[in-house]
Amino acid sequence: MTTVGATATPPGGWRRRLFAAAPYILLAPGLLWLLYFFIWPAVQMFLMSISSGSLDSGFRVTGTLKPYTDALTKFSTQWGNSLLYGAISTTLDFLIGFPVAYAIAFRGGRFKNLLLFLVIAPFFTSFLIRTISWQILLGDEGPVLGFLKHVVGILPVDFSILYSPVAVIAGLTYNFLPFMILPLYVALEKIDIRTLEAAGDLYANGWRTFWKVTFPLALPGVFAGTILTFIPTMGDYVNAELLGSPKTRMIGNVIQGRFLQSNDYPTASALSFVLMAGILIAVLIYARALGTEQLTG
Amino acid sequence: MTAASAAVARSGNRTDRVGRSISHWALPAFTILAIGYLLIPIVVMIVFSFNDYQGKFNFIWHGFTLNAWEEPLAWPGLPDAIRISLTVAFLSTLFSTILGTMIGLALTRYQFRGRGAINGLIFLPMASPEIVLGASLLTLFINIGLRNGVLPPGLTLLPKSALSLGFTTILIAHIMFNISYVVVTVKARLAGFDRRLEEAAMDLGANEWTTFWRVTFPLILPGVVAAALLAFSLSIDDFVITNFVSGTTNTFPMWVYGVIRNALPAQINVIGSIVFLSAVAFVAATTLRSGRAIRTH
């Protein structure tokens, strides 16, 4: 027996070593890709944000904080717009999304899958094309305003929505609504219907059951949904560009313009970092406010 | 029962009744309206693909025509943009699915140190605003072109022009942001995986290689396919990140973004409609097929 075991060990040895290394072999290529094209760029952008120079003379890391003071002081309108539009459209998404997710989870019946499919249907068309559709819809002579102006006649002829903050908020609310509905649905769907029945048995009325049982149990979904809506809204520049005017520019428009048109990379990098840091801090405060222990569920 | 308690009971009943009628009528009505809101831009896109518009901008309805559908590619640059979009989507799906599936396998099937950190690294690209991903990649590519800053080892060995903005940099970016989504999708599928099936194959004399291809792979294949489809649709729709790293190369969304400054051709709506309808047809076909498969089992 022992001799057989001894002769079997040499080939088994390198094979075993290969299989011990298997997880690292499996991980290496993908993680290297993320290291090279996600982590390294982020580090480079940080270095760029404390650099001075221009595209012609080259950029040198000087440890200057000027890009950050510029980023924080020069663009207060755009920061304000981002925060305001982000907050309003995330709130609207929640107010629209929660009843929809609730209805699909508890009242969907055999239409559940069809309804979910309709919620994600917008993803089957390009984000840009959907925003262009809003341009058409909200146009001064478009299907909505044109009808109300010339057929119904309740609006003055010069009434306009396109290129106003309302149009930008409408576009943002629209484009990120599915990101709100889906996590809310997942959280509500997980709720055991018997806990709601138990609340009823204990003489809680529908309203009380909702606020004391359903909503607290849905909090992880509320958290995920608001985060998934708020983050892309804060970084968006397409809605503000296509549906807005120079007055409705958001911080994303500034970052895009500084990077792609004026080649002011240090300020643009500093703006991106402030945006990232701001989002991170907001998420942490929000997690604390909702109660982190509920979010692990 | 005193009069006061009777009044309380009655008012309780009334709020209950209001609550019940909300959940019976208002909730479904609201859900239908909200889903209508999600679908309106798609309807507009399809309807306006048949618009016989005047001038260059397809903004106002003028009558029905099939012009755009008869010549769906009749705009300079459009055929090239579609070809590049499809090539990038195909290649980035291929690479990110392979890399992401390998990471997913490693994370779910092996115990090793640093799993938490790796999970975090996978999660970060999905949690970052797209604009920051695009901006930081652009910083990397600019620095490589300028031979500026601390460059990742190996990349400096490439000729300077190898990573100048264009097809290659778009592909690199798309593989990068797709990897995380593939890992998450494949992991979800692997979570319910029964390791005993593999052990059974090994007991029956199959080696690791045979076991993987004959047992493991067929079982995770649906997850891999779902991940690939997700990656493909994310890639073909991406605008924000591509806008930063594409230089003068046009993908379809980039082409749309460029052309809408001077015109709004109905061909945009036609291509959008074709993509939307084929996606819907695909989902419908797979749903019907899986429904039939369940019934025959």
Looking at residue B92, which CATH number applies to its domain?
1.10.3720.10
For residue B110, the model assigns a pLDDT of 81
CB contact under 8 A, B31 and A135: no
Q: Which residues in chain B are contacts of A272 at CB distance < 8 A? A: 131-132, 135-136
Q: How many CA atoms lie within 13 A of A174 on its CB side?
A: 29
Same-domain check for residues A21 and A163: no
CB pairs under 8 A between A and B: 249
Residue B125 falls within a domain, yes or no?
Answer: yes
User: Are A224 and A88 in a shared domain?
Assistant: yes
Inter-chain touch A137–B41, beta carbons under 8 Å: yes
Question: For residues B89 and B275, what is the distance between their CA atoms, to the nearest angstrom?
Answer: 14
Q: Looking at the domain assignment, is residue A57 inside a domain?
A: no
Q: Is residue A142 part of a domain?
A: yes
A30 and A79 assigned to the same domain = no
- Give the model confidence (pLDDT) of B138-178 as tens digits: 999 988 887 777 778 777 777 777 788 899 999 999 999 99
Q: What percent of chain B has pLDDT over 90?
A: 40
User: Considering only CA atoms, which of A180, A199, A170 is closest in space to residue A99?
Assistant: A180
Both tokens assigned to A97: 């999304």
User: With bands split at pLDDT 50, 70 and 90, how would you rate the model's confidence at A4?
Assistant: very low
- Average of per-residue pLDDT across A46-60: 86
User: Which stretches of B128-265 are DSSP H helices?
Assistant: 130-146, 167-190, 195-203, 208-211, 217-237, 240-245, 252-259
pLDDT top residue among B172 and A290: B172
- Cα A172 to its chain centre, rounded Å, is 11
Which B residues 69-128 touch A at CB under 8 Å?
A: 99-100, 102-103, 105-107, 109-110, 112, 118, 121-122, 124-125, 127-128
The answer to the question of residue A164 being in a domain is yes
d(CA B168, CA A150): 51
What domain range is B146 assigned to?
Answer: 77-251
Tokens of B279: 């996606």
Phi and psi dihedrals of A141, rounded to 5? Answer: -110, 20
Domain check: are A30 and A173 in the same one? no
Task: Give the residue from B150, B290, B149 showing the smallest Cα distance to B222.
Answer: B290
Residues A220, A138 share a domain: yes
The arithmetic mean of pLDDT across residues A70-87, rounded, is 93
Name the residue among B23, B140, B287 with its Cβ closest to that of A44.
B140
Total structural domains within chain A: 2
Among A152-156, B124-128, B251-255, name the most confident range: B251-255
| Domain presence at residue B145 | yes
Residue B4 forms part of a structural domain: no
Residues A19 and A93 in one domain: no
The string of pLDDT tens digits covering residues A141-171 is 888 888 888 788 788 877 888 899 999 999 9
Any CB–CB contact under 8 A between B8 and chain A?
A: no
Quick one: A91 and A223 in the same domain?
A: yes
Interface of B with A in 15-44 (CB under 8 A): 15-16, 19-20, 23, 27-28, 30-31, 34-35, 37-42, 44
Question: Looking at chain B from residue 48 to 77, which residues have their Cβ under 8 Å from any Cβ of chain A?
Answer: 48, 58-61
pLDDT at residue A11, as a whole number: 52
- What is the CATH classification number for the domain harbouring A251? 1.10.3720.10
Which H or E run contains A54? strand A51-54
* Domain annotation covers residue B267: no
Residue A21 and residue A128 in one domain: no
Per residue in A178-220, pLDDT (tens digit) is 999 999 998 998 888 888 888 888 888 878 888 888 888 888 8
Q: Left if phi > 0, otherwise alpha if psi is -120 to 50, otherwise beta: which for B57?
A: beta
Q: Which of B27, B132, B257 sits opposite A103 (nearest CB)?
A: B27
Residue A56 belongs to a domain: no
Contact criterion met (CB < 8 Å) for B31 and A23: no
A84-119 pLDDT, tens digit each: 999 999 999 999 999 999 999 988 888 888 999 999
The pLDDT value recorded for residue A102 is 93
| Domain shared by A99 and A190, yes or no | yes
In a domain, A60, yes or no: no
Contact at 8 Å (CB) between A130 and B286?
no
In this structure, are residues A162 and A117 in contact, taking their beta carbons and an 8 Å threshold? Answer: no
Q: What is the ipTM of this complex?
A: 0.85
Contacts of A127 in chain B (CB under 8 A): 237, 239, 253
- pLDDT over 90 (residue A125): no
Domain membership of residue A35 as a residue range? 7-40
Q: Per the domain annotation, does A51 fall within a domain? A: no
Do A11 and A128 sit in the same domain of this protein?
Answer: no
pLDDT at residue A233 in the model: 93
Range name among A144-148, B17-21, B201-205 with the lowest pLDDT average: B17-21
Which residue on chain B is closest to A128 by alpha carbon?
A: B253
Check: pTM over 0.90? Answer yes or no.
no
Q: B230 in a domain, yes or no? A: yes
B159 within domain boundaries:
yes
Looking at residue B292, what is its pLDDT? 66
Whether A227 maps to a domain, the answer reads: yes
In a domain? residue B38: no
- What confidence score (pLDDT) does residue B295 get? 57
Give the mean model confidence (pLDDT) for residues A7-15. 56
Mean pLDDT value across residues A123-130: 89
Cα dihedral angle (A72, A78, A83, A86), rounded to 10 degrees? -140
CA of A30, closest CA in chain B: separation in Å? 5
A161 with A21, same domain: the answer is: no
Note whether B224 contacts A: Cβ–Cβ < 8 A. Answer: no
Between CA A270 and CA A256 the distance in angstroms is 13
The verdict on A16 and A136 lying in the same domain is no
DSSP string, B48-94: HTTB--SSSBTTS---B--HHHHSTT-STTHHHHHHHHHHHHHHHHH
DSSP code, position B114:
T
Asked if pLDDT for residue A297 goes beyond 50, the answer is no
Q: Do B110 and A141 count as a contact with CB atoms less than 8 A apart?
A: no
* Tally of domains in chain B: 1
The larger pLDDT score, comparing residue A291 to residue B118, is at B118
Residue of B nearest to A238 (CA): B240
Question: Which chain A positions have a beta carbon within 8 Å of B140's beta carbon?
Answer: 37, 40-41, 44
Mean pLDDT of all residues in chain B?
A: 85
Q: What is the mean pLDDT of residues A221-245?
A: 91
